[in-house]
Structure 1
Amino acid sequence: MHTQRLWLRAQQHIADGHLDAAASNLQALLQREPRNAQARMLLSSVALGRGQLRQGCAEAIAAAQALPDDAEMIATVAMCLFRVGETVATRQCMQHPEIARTRDAPALARLAHVWQMLGEHAAALALMDRARALGFDNPEFRYFRALQLQFNGRLHEAEREIEACLSQGPTHGRASLTLARLHRQTAERNHLDYIVRQLPRVEQGSEDHAAFEFARYKELEDIGRHDEAWEALQRGNAIMAVRNAHDGALEQRLFARLQQHCTAAFLAERASDTGVAPQPIFILGLPRSGTTLLERLLGKHAAIAVPGELPDFPRQLRWCADAHGASLLDERVLDRLDAIDYAQLGQRYLAQTQWHAGARPQYVDKLPSNYMLAGLIHKALPRAPILHLVRAPLDVCFSNYRALFGDAHNYSYRLDDMAVHYRRYRALMAHWHAAMPGVILDVEYVQLVGDTEGTMRRVLAHCGLPFDVACTESSGAGAPVSTLSSAQVREPIHRRGVDAWRRYATQLEPLRMALADLA
């Protein structure tokens, strides 16, 4: 009864916003019941609410070590562990024997999402198939199963699953957008009539509404109706700009502080080289700059594994700064850059990621936004090669504008914000080059698709690897791909993305003028 009172008091303190008091009650409870996983998870949440990332991680790990035979609880703990950067502990959760025997279909669907977050897309699809066999079915589940089929290269099955999702009744703009992106539409075969019928049914101004407009843009562009396509694209971006306002002033402060702090002298004091293998190869740059294509080409090399986009470096940076948060970088992390143990940062990063390599000596870490952290990456992991994708300003800006990133990359929904952000990105990359000469290899997208062999020879030399002719062809079998390019990069290498903005040269003239002085 005393334990129950402590539990209820803790919940009341949380509801009242008294996190210190809630933590005291939960700690007292755990002295009586140290293997109470539910209390551990609540204490972890309280610690994170107080900004104490390390304590939050420790309590979540303790919960994982006391898991009951409850698939739903296992999924909750595993998701928490992943989101705070405890990737290894997440994988250990996913080995719990209860997962193999459970018949809880909704829990299996949640556990599949954990495998998806870990980049284990075959395992994610297997759990989704188990849930489906147990009778689990709804439009959202169909949509996410379609994504897994797409990520695993089963594009025809993905298309049928999306169609099944859309046939179940409620509007689903994301599913329509995914369907539009699976292949090029034609005047004879497209989904434009369906999209037009759905638009009056959606909540106006919702992300669902925006997704239908992005889908309409894609299909109209495919069939050459460019004026109508541009109008749909503008409508979709306008909705998202209202929903996810870009904080340009905050971005300016963060970029300025980062450059002021990360001087050549600061970056010259690097962690010692431990020689521990396998080692990462970082690919970074603006989103939609060609990072997925380069990753796929590197993945054809016998020495390189390609696990996909890894959030581990920014999360381990936050752990070392003991600064909980969802963004890649914030003021609290910048405040603590001098206090971080960069050797520890490198060691923790490797400990959380090396499993991705399997038996290979190197593995790719492709998180485009890591361009903001390039200097800190080199400071913590001096052996790791860094590859920077460079794409023509208007091509990459337009490619961002026509993507739907949800609540990420909010600069992309307004062309003037896009232009300012691009300038800040270019200035930051120039800063890294000046402060760390020779560390980062710029890889020009136009050269990657135009002279693939010559470019890959330079890339592999920078990575300290011998040339492999297999690295000149992206199509065919390969690792799963979970980015917006997952269908496109399975095609033979092409140049369709070069100068794609010119179809809308008139509409993009203000953007061209804003970037006219940049090559």
Structure 2
Amino acid sequence: MPPHSAAPPAAGNDNTHVEPRMVGLPADAIPKMHAVARAIRDGAVPVAEALLGELLASTPEHPEALRLYGILHNRCNRPDDAKAVLQRALAQRPDDAQIHNDLGSALLGCGERESAFDSWRRACELAPTEPMPWYNLGRNLQLEGSTGPAVTALQHACTLAPDFLPARILLGDALAHLGRFDEASARYRDALRLHPACGDAWRGLANIKMRPLSDSDREQLSTQLRRADIAEPDRIAMGYALGKVCEDQARYPEAFAVLSEANARMRRMGAWNAATFRDYVSAVIAASEVLPEPLDPNLGSEAIFIVGLPRSGSTLFEQIIATHPQVEGASELSDLGDVLRDESLRRNQAFPRWVAEAGAQDWHRLGRDYLQRTARWRAQRPRFTDKMPENWLFTGVLRAMLPGATIIDTRRDPLEAAWSCFKQQFYRRPHFSCDLADIAAYLQDCARAMDHWQRIAPTRIRTCSYEALLVDPEPQIRELLAFCRLSFEAGCLEFHQSPRSVRTPSASQVRQPLRRDTSRVANYGALLDPLRQALQR
């Protein structure tokens, strides 16, 4: 969900009363400003740029024209340009809350995190009754894991703009991440009263997995899905939610049918290519075979990576480790992938093609970059977890980049893990989870890569079984902590009591004691035979 910017009204050209933001503009420029706002709103970038070019040619430093240009640059992913023009606007109107609000988005895009939050907070101070600065502040606090302060900001936004659905949904998400599930459910249901076919609200309710949806919810979902006038993303999200309630109510054929339909719709938005991905994994494995000896074998000892297939118990293992007083649970961080992406851009070569050219100094630099980007997660505790599942792809090069890091490879019964992925909506596209054969192929690629790297570096990589943890928790938890070079803490056995924010779909599950009755696939019988066959290939 992109950050929001406040633009002038997009309709109405009555110039008998000049809006305060338009003061200083010629009368014939005001309709053009409204036209720019409409063009930005509608995504008509060439129209907006042409009109702004005309406006800035005649009034080159008008702050509202500059602000609109900043909004357009932000929408077009040009944060450096947005920052430059918004700072020019701010020089003329230093107490303009809307400019501060838009500048925050530009600064964040430039990687200036602290300055971005300063801008949003300043906007909230200058215009405490305007909802958008509170929304942007709360949204970005939530994205970076500062869930408690995010709730406060989003509550302000909801109070000021009760009909603004994105604020209600994000507030529900933040409350769920804190374990405040009754409050989260209330926010999602508030959204549904405004928009009964709001897919994000149904997604939020379905993700509170320990609170099954009701018969009434199932009937309402079925009714909404029969409508012809709902947006495709809403239809897809409601399909996953209906699949969840059908499974909870033992309506297994119906659950399979609606989940298959939802996944088919997701796949049409971007199909996964299993053969191409298999070749990529083979290239990654080959590239990591020969790496230089690290300059500092302890670099990255602060980091505990938790990798593997989604829905394999990774959130549970992170919750256990993050309950330890020496560890901060950072959840799913993009930083490792971002570091390697930026290096690929610098070298003008895609990963892993440049790996063979990288020397020990390069890997040391990249490791230091990652540690600098993640430093805020060590402000209170010396160790931290990074639970981005797809970081398994980078496990091979970590022995050169962050040789001191600990890597936990989470595994679950393949059939259960694969079916759990199929039931969960993932928003990145294309995604392997939309087709049972693709899930099986992805699982096998992940396993072959991790098995290979575990043989090479058994002291750095530990394979952890979800089922083994359920059967005999304490010995497994003791061994896990010891592998992470952590002392045993009895509190880790009571991980479900931890108040930390959990920002994954498993947020409600890890706040419950361990349960052994998590198997679901037997209920589907022959419906899952194609998946069973694919996993055996």
Give the TM interval when normalised to the shorter protein. 0.7 to 0.9
Q: Which residue of 2 aligns with 1:515?
A: 535
1:393 counterpart (401, 407, 414):
414
2:267 counterpart (241, 244, 259):
241
Q: Which residue of 1 aligns with 2:141?
A: 115
Deviation track 1:359-388 (CA, whole Å, cap 9, x = no partner) reads 211111111110111122332111111111
Count of residue pairs brought into register by the alignment: 474
Q: Is the 8 A contact 1:185 1:222 kept in 2?
A: no
Is it true that 1:230 corresponds to 2:230 in the alignment? no
Structure 2: 5+ residue stretches without partners? 1-35, 54-59
Q: Is the 8 A contact 2:70 2:86 kept in 1?
A: no
Q: Which residue of 2 aligns with 1:504?
A: 524
Alpha-carbon separation, structure 1, partners of 2:213 and 2:337 = 45
Range with bigger deviation, 355-364 or 98-107 = 98-107
Instruction: Give the deviation of 1:334 after TM superposition.
Output: 2.4
Q: Which residue of 1 aligns with 2:353?
A: 335
Q: Is the 8 A contact 2:209 2:506 kept in 1?
A: no
Q: Is the 8 A contact 1:146 1:159 kept in 2?
A: yes
Alpha-carbon separation, structure 1, partners of 2:475 and 2:282 = 36
Is it true that 1:305 corresponds to 2:328 in the alignment? yes
1:148 counterpart (171, 174, 186):
174
SS of structure 2 residue aligned to 1:179: helix
Instruction: Give the deviation of 1:348 after TM superposition.
Output: 1.2
Instruction: Give the deviation of 1:62 after TM superposition.
Output: 7.7
Please list, as runs of the form range in 1=range in 2, the aligned pairs for 1:59-458 lying within 5 A after superposition: 69-79=95-105, 86=111, 89-96=112-119, 97-101=121-125, 102-103=127-128, 104-184=130-210, 190-201=216-227, 203=229, 206-263=232-289, 265-266=290-291, 268-273=292-297, 279-322=302-345, 332-340=350-358, 341-408=362-429, 410-458=431-479
Q: Is the 8 A contact 2:271 2:430 kept in 1?
A: no
Deviation track 1:413-450 (CA, whole Å, cap 9, x = no partner) reads 11111111111111211222233343211111111222
Given residue 500 of structure 1, which amino acid in structure 2 is its aligned partner? R
Instruction: Give the deviation of 1:350 after TM superposition.
Output: 1.1
Alpha-carbon separation, structure 2, partners of 1:64 and 1:228 = 53
Instruction: Give the deviation of 1:258 after TM superposition.
Output: 0.8
Taking a change above 3 Å as real, the CA distance of residues 513 and 204 of structure 1, as seen in their structure-2 partners, is: farther
Q: Is the 8 A contact 1:273 1:382 kept in 2?
A: yes
Q: Is the 8 A contact 1:37 1:62 kept in 2?
A: no
Q: TM-score, normalised by structure 1?
A: 0.81
State percent identity of aligned pairs.
Answer: 26
Instruction: Give the deviation of 1:122 after TM superposition.
Output: 1.2
Q: Is the 8 A contact 2:172 2:204 kept in 1?
A: no
Instruction: Give the deviation of 1:80 after TM superposition.
Output: 5.4
Given residue 241 of structure 1, which amino acid in structure 2 is its aligned partner? R
Q: Is the 8 A contact 1:159 1:179 kept in 2?
A: yes
Given residue 458 of structure 1, which amino acid in structure 2 is its aligned partner? E
Q: Is the 8 A contact 1:473 1:493 kept in 2?
A: no
Alpha-carbon separation, structure 1, partners of 2:392 and 2:213 = 40
Q: Is the 8 A contact 1:288 1:396 kept in 2?
A: yes
Given residue 335 of structure 1, which amino acid in structure 2 is its aligned partner? R
Larger Rg: 2
1:491 counterpart (512, 517, 520):
512
**What is the CA RMSD across the aligned residues, in angstroms?**
3.5
Alpha-carbon separation, structure 2, partners of 1:424 and 1:334 = 16
Taking a change above 3 Å as real, the CA distance of residues 250 and 377 of structure 1, as seen in their structure-2 partners, is: same
Deviation track 1:449-472 (CA, whole Å, cap 9, x = no partner) reads 222211111111111111111111
Q: Is the 8 A contact 1:237 1:414 kept in 2?
A: yes
Deviation track 1:279-320 (CA, whole Å, cap 9, x = no partner) reads 121111111111111111112111111122111111122223
SS of structure 1 residue aligned to 2:469: helix
Range with bigger deviation, 75-84 or 402-411 = 75-84
Alpha-carbon separation, structure 2, partners of 1:106 and 1:15 = 26
Q: Which residue of 1 aligns with 2:23?
A: none
Instruction: Give the deviation of 1:15 after TM superposition.
Output: 4.8
Deviation track 1:102-129 (CA, whole Å, cap 9, x = no partner) reads 3331232122111111111112111111
